[in-house]
Structure 1
Amino acid sequence: MSAQHMPYMLSAKGLKKSFGAVTAADDVNIDIPIGQRVSLIGSNGAGKTTFVNMVTGYLKPDAGRIELDGKSIEGLGPRQITGMGIARSFQIPQLALDMTALDNMLVAAACNDGHQSFWRPAHAGDRIARAEALLEKFELTAHIHRRVAELPGGVRKLLDIAMALTGKPKLLLLDEPTSGVSVDEKFPMMDTISAALSSEKVTVLFVEHDMEIVTHYSDRVIAFYSGRVIADDQPESVLSNVEVQRYVTGTVKQGH
């Protein structure tokens, strides 16, 4: 298939979603090429989380179409969509605190392995090798046998993202990867995440409020306001957009 006819990794057309009188998605159209790193920005209630929840199957759009790698996914449930290649990490890591980092990885791998191989032992050799390799990529080897309850917040965030990759997803959604992380830690942490994801060949979509992180780690920024996309371009262009400055970053100058 020639490059110009390759499908987008994610394509959303005409998405609409309302909750009573509140319009959370108003004709949202987004195409994300394979391998791109895209950040979603917007104030609380702007529509970015609604978009992510529709993509991951937690919400059904009222109208519109969503395709993953050329295949329709709108209307499918979260487990079906995960099986088709979408993984998600959370703002608050979803971890088993009494288990070790490695065992959390192995449980995630068992859940992501699909129905045919789910009943293989969680400690199968190939799963352990894959888990250990991912932990090494995220610089977590020193924590491999530690209980998650003992790990600091930043390490838990990295572990949560590593767990999302156990199923070798095509598209990874990250929910505020640096929230709750100190100023001194956020760039080293994002460097670690960025390096690990580069070797995984995965398309990345992340929700982020930190505009320094957005500027440094995104190929592209999509800004939401009131259920609509108000800007979609390279980071510098979007962050200099007057509507984005007014409704998202709060940096619009007097007189605009």
Structure 2
Amino acid sequence: MSLSPPLLQVTGLRKAFGGVHAVDGVDFALEPGELLALIGPNGAGKSTTFNMVGGQLRPDAGRIRLAGVDIAGLPPRAIWRQGVGRTFQIAETFASLTVLENVQMALLSADRRLFSFWPRAQHHRRDDALALLAQVGMAAQAPRPCSTLAYGDVKRVELAMALAHAPRLLLMDEPTAGMGPAERLALMALTQQLARERAMGVLFTEHSMDVVFAHADRVMVLARGRLLAEGSPQAIRDNTRVQEVYLGSGSMFGQAAAAGSPA
């Protein structure tokens, strides 16, 4: 048995807004190379939990340890410097720049040269940027402006940008929002592959159950700020408490699992 700490260890996490306990004593862990889905009904506390891990919100109590180092309460930039990357529900790229230049800008930031006038983004670590684009299947699109891309391709560029500083932990907020079924499954299959290759943990929120059941290694379900259930996708799909609290019945779980299963 390994004596090293989990990549991410969250204990006793709490956050209240006025008299409302949005997150109330949440504990979980994430290992390198693992995909952990964070799901729950509206108001469950998943966004609050996610944003505390990313530094957008400061916890009222609890610890968030990254490889044993407590990062709770640090600002997002400091957490990013600790090796935490992030993608957003609405993809954030520079529409007027080319695909290649977007990744070069991310590399400039990783190298702490974002505000330098020289070298310009188009000259900075071109080969490394192309290698990152190749990993996400976008190398052939390198010269195109991001404004001309289909939305699914923009999400792949955003993923390449998030990988530019070689994060140990990747936070993905609704990564497949706005995408069709085939696109979203392909994006998460790619994310799973990269997580394994890089030994990078991935924590993601997601409303599409086909994505969750097809690609998460474990699923964590929140309800009213507390952990309702945690386990494998199969265990969560079969959990009667989850069915009752999250969806009211198991029918959607069964449909999603079938949609996410290989033919």
Q: Secondary structure at the match of 2:15?
A: strand
In structure 1, the partner of 2:245 is 247
In structure 2, the partner of 1:6 is 4
Task: Assess, with a 3 A threshold, how the Cα gap between structure 1 residues 126 and 194 changes in structure 2: closer, same or farther.
Answer: farther
In structure 1, the partner of 2:17 is 19
- 1:218 is the counterpart of 2:216: yes
Choose 196-205 or 51-60, whichever is displaced more: 196-205
Query: What residue identity is the alignment partner of 1:73?
Result: I
Choose 63-72 or 29-38, whichever is displaced more: 29-38
In structure 1, the partner of 2:174 is 176
Q: Secondary structure at the match of 2:2?
A: helix
Query: What residue identity is the alignment partner of 1:200?
Result: R
Query: What residue identity is the alignment partner of 2:132?
Result: L
Task: Assess, with a 3 A threshold, how the Cα gap between structure 1 residues 51 and 122 changes in structure 2: closer, same or farther.
Answer: farther
In structure 2, the partner of 1:61 is 59
Tell me if structure 1 keeps the 8 A contact 2:33–2:196: no
Write the distance in 1 (CA, Å) between the matches of 2:221 and 2:146.
35
Task: Assess, with a 3 A threshold, how the Cα gap between structure 1 residues 33 and 188 changes in structure 2: closer, same or farther.
Answer: closer
In structure 2, the partner of 1:79 is 77
Q: Secondary structure at the match of 1:237?
A: helix
Q: Secondary structure at the match of 1:198?
A: helix
Write the distance in 2 (CA, Å) between the matches of 1:130 and 1:48.
35
Write the distance in 2 (CA, Å) between the matches of 1:149 and 1:220.
35
Alpha carbon RMSD of aligned pairs, Å?
1.9
Q: Secondary structure at the match of 2:164?
A: coil
In structure 1, the partner of 2:131 is 133
Query: What residue identity is the alignment partner of 1:121?
Result: P
Write the distance in 1 (CA, Å) between the matches of 2:176 and 2:163.
18
Q: 1:94 aligns with which of 74, 92, 95?
A: 92
Query: What residue identity is the alignment partner of 2:228?
Result: I
In structure 1, the partner of 2:201 is 203
Aligned-pair distance for 1:252? Answer: 4.4
Write the distance in 1 (CA, Å) between the matches of 2:82 and 2:124.
21
Choose 193-202 or 99-108, whichever is displaced more: 193-202
Q: Normalising by structure 1, what TM-score? A: 0.91
Aligned-pair distance for 1:125? Answer: 6.9
- 1:144 is the counterpart of 2:142: yes
Sequence identity (%): 38
User: Could you list the runs of 5+ residues in structure 2 that have no partner in the other structure?
Assistant: 252-263
Q: Normalising by structure 2, what TM-score? A: 0.89
Paired positions, count:
250
In structure 1, the partner of 2:105 is 107
